[in-house]
Each structure stands twice: as C-alpha cells, then as structure tokens.
C-alpha cells in the first residue's frame, strides 16, 4: 500500500491521499475522430479536502470525475481510492464500492419526479440493501441536515431549484460517503441560491469530514474549497491553494499513512 500523501500547509505533515490518480488516460471514439479527453493525468487529493476543478468547457472535467469515481472506466493509469485500486475491480465490486463510499451531486438534479423528497433520498440506501424502515429514518435525518425537514413529502416539481438541489445533497450524503463528487452542482442556480448550496457543502465538508471534488465554472464557488485544480486539454495545468481556508492538517485525520488509514476499514468489504 502506498504511503503517498498530500502535504498540509505547514509543508511537513502528511495527510493520507484518499484519491491517488496517476497516468490516467481516457479517449472517446466518435466516428473517425478520436478525442483524447484525459492525457495521462496525475492527481492526489487528501482526506477531508474540498477541491474545486476548473477549466474550459470540453477540457475533461466530467470525464475526470467519471473515471476517478468509477462511473466510467479509464483506458490506462492507476486510480487508488481509500487505498484500493478501482482499476482492476470487477464491475460488481466497483458498483458496490461506489454505493457504500461515494455520493454524487449533478447540475441537473436527477431526482425522480414521481417520488417525494424523502423517497428520493431513500433510494441509494435501498439500492445498497438497507432495510426500508432504517432507510426512511436516515433519509429524514439527511433532509433535516440540509434544512428540508418540512419539505419531506413534496415532490421535486413542488420545490424550488435550490430546494431540489438540497434534496440531491441530502441524497448524496445519506450513506455517509467518504467522497462526494459534484459536477457543476450550482450550475443551474442563481448566485444567491448557489451561495446557499455552497454554504451547505462547506459546512458538511468541515463537520462531516467528507472529501469533496467539485467541478465548477464559478470562481466564487471555487474559492470556497481548500484548493483549485485547473485543467486544460485533458491535463492538470496548474493548481493553487486558497488562502483563508482551514488548515488541512486540522481537517484530515491525524493518521500518517494510507495503510493505517484504510487497512482495517476496508477489511471484510469485499
Ligand atoms: P468538460 O466536462 O470539461 O466540459 P468532458 O469531460 O465532458 O469536458 O469532455 C472532454 C472531451 O471529451 C470533449 O472534447 C468531449 O466532446 C469529449 N467527450 C466527452 N464524453 C464523450 C462521449 N461520451 N463520446 C465522445 N466524446 C466525448
Ligand atoms: Mg462537464
């Protein structure tokens, strides 16, 4: 198991990398044109970090999220999440790993229109095999956490855009994932509602210690995270730390290596 980590702002302390990606390649064949969407990308993200991914349309941000989260398969490279390589994993195991360890928030809310807020939030739990009664309880708690306890019985069409996005935040967090992937989560929201959703995500990142990887076009959104990764043409072009965000050594667990961090927690999860 690797002992790579990401340096805290004091430069010395190593925080375990919850996501370690190296040499990740992905291309698409559409007709006779081959698009190289990711060109051997390297990226480490620390446990508890909130990272914003920025870059022009078409530079590979969504492809990166899809490959790192295992929604899609990279053509080449290594991707290690919580100390486990997801590249060699069987589809079944990867799906399970995603269901247990990851949450997703997209720009389009992807809520089921015929289901209530609670039922939408219950869904990933039921898929993961949680008993209905327990799923219901957890869903209500998650809705409460995002300030929507009083909207629990409403259907998406009866809620505002901001409320719908809060339902998807509740849904992404209900399984207490280690990592939340968000692809332009505020892209469809006005600036005030966008700020409200970001306040919520930042609060959850700081209190629940989840790692967030957030694609955004909005500099105001990006600067709320610990770090901004800028992509261009399928590669990381540059990155910068955001001043004024909490020192990562306080956010990450006080664990020195990935072996310690993930060695025992992954036992029996196969
Ligand atoms: P971004 O999210 O940064 O806008 P994407 O990751 O969606 O960029 O796309 C990266 C490149 O890959 C673009 O050139 C896009 O047209 C291409 N691409 C993405 N998905 C597909 C697909 N399913 N089939 C063919 N080309 C694709
Ligand atoms: Mg995209």
Task: Tell me the pLDDT tens digit for each residue of 11-45.
Answer: 545 678 999 999 999 999 988 899 999 999 999 99
| Assigned domain for 267 exists | no
Backbone angles phi, psi at 43, to 5 degrees: -160, 130
Q: Is 57 in the pocket of ligand 1 (CB under 6 A)?
A: yes
Q: Would strands 5-7 and 227-232 be described as parallel, antiparallel, or unpaired?
A: unpaired
Please compute the mean of the pLDDT values over residues 102-120 and round it to a whole number: 93
Q: At 7, is the pLDDT very low, low, confident or very high (cuts 50, 70, 90)? A: low
| Structural domain count of the chain | 1
Nearest to 146 by CA among 174, 112, 180: 174
Higher-pLDDT residue of 9, 190? 190
* Alpha carbons 250 and 232: distance in angstroms, whole number: 31
Smallest Cα–Cα separation from 18: which of 208, 192, 212?
212
Cβ of 63 closer than 6 Å to ligand 1, yes or no, is yes
> Domain holding 175: CATH number?
3.40.50.300
- For 38-66, write each residue's pLDDT tens digit: 999 999 999 999 999 999 999 999 999 99
Q: Quote the DSSP letter at residue 242.
A: P
Low-confidence winner among 62-71, 171-180, 183-192, 250-259 (lowest mean pLDDT): 250-259
Residue 183 belongs to a domain: yes
d(CA 107, CA 184): 5
Q: Is the CB of 5 under 6 A from ligand 1?
A: no
Write down the residue that tokens 């989260």 correspond to: 69
Inform me whether the pLDDT recorded for 268 exceeds 60: no
Q: Is residue 71 part of a domain?
A: yes
Residue 268 falls inside a structural domain = no
CB 59 near ligand 1, within 6 Å? yes
For residue 264 and ligand 1, the question of a CB distance below 6 A is answered with: no
Which residue, among 42, 51, 49, has the nearest Cα to 80 in the 3D structure?
42
Q: How far apart are CA 141 and CA 128, in angstroms?
A: 18
> To 10 degrees, what angle do helices 191-208 and 161-173 make?
20
pTM of the model: 0.86
> Of all protein residues, whose CA lies closest to atom 6 belonging to ligand 1?
60
Q: Which numbered ligand comes closest to the C-alpha of 35?
A: 1
Percent of the chain residues topping a pLDDT of 70: 85
| Interval between CA 41 and ligand 1 midpoint (Å) | 15
8 CA to centre of ligand 2 in angstroms: 29
Q: Is the CB of 216 under 6 A from ligand 1?
A: no
For 150, the 3-state DSSP assignment is helix
Confirm whether 23 is domain-assigned: yes
Question: Would 92 be classed as within a structural domain?
Answer: yes
Q: Which domain holds residue 196?
A: 5-262
State the ligand closest to the CA atom of 30: 1
Mean local confidence (pLDDT), 196-209: 90
Count the residues in the chain.
Answer: 270
Q: What is the pLDDT of residue 6?
A: 59
* Position 131 in a domain: yes
Q: Which of 37, 183, 187, 232 to mutate to test the pocket of ligand 1 (most atoms within 8 A of CB)?
A: 37
270 within a domain of the structure (yes/no): no
CB 148 within 8 A of CB 121: no
Task: Decide: 30 in ligand 1 pocket, CB within 6 A.
Answer: yes
Q: State the ligand closest to the CA atom of 37.
A: 1
116 versus 257: which is more confidently predicted?
A: 116
Q: Give me the pLDDT at residue 259, please.
A: 41
Average pLDDT for residues 173-181, to the nearest whole number? Answer: 93
């Amino acid at each position: 198991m690797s002992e790579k980590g990401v340096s805290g702002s004091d430069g010395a302390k190593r925080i375990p990398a919850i996501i370690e990606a190296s040499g990740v390649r992905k291309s698409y064949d559409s007709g006779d044109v081959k698009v190289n969407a990711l060109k051997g990308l390297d990226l480490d993200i620390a446990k508890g970090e909130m990272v914003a991914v920025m870059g022009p349309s078409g530079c590979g941000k969504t492809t990166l999220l899809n490959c790192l989260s295992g929604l899609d398969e990279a053509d080449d490279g290594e991707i290690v999440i919580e100390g486990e390589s997801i590249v060699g994993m069987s589809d079944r195991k990867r799906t399970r790993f995603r269901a247990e360890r990851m949450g997703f928030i997209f720009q389009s809310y992807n809520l089921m229109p015929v289901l209530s807020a609670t039922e939408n939030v219950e869904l990933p739990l039921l898929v993961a095999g949680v008993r209905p009664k327990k799923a219901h309880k957890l869903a209500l708690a998650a809705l409460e956490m995002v300030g929507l306890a009083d909207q629990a019985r409403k259907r998406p069409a009866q809620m505002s855009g901001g409320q719908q996005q809060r339902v998807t935040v509740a849904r992404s967090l209900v399984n207490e994932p280690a990592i939340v992937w968000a692809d332009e989560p505020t892209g469809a929201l006005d600036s005030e509602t966008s700020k409200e959703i970001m306040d919520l995500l930042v609060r959850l990142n700081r209190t629940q210690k989840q790692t967030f990887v957030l694609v955004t076009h909005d500099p105001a959104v990006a600067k709320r995270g610990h770090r901004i990764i800028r992509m261009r043409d399928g590669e990381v072009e540059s990155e910068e730390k955001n001043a004024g965000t909490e020192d990562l050594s306080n956010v990450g667990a006080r664990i020195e290596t990935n072996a310690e961090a993930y060695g025992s927690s992954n036992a029996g999860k196969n």
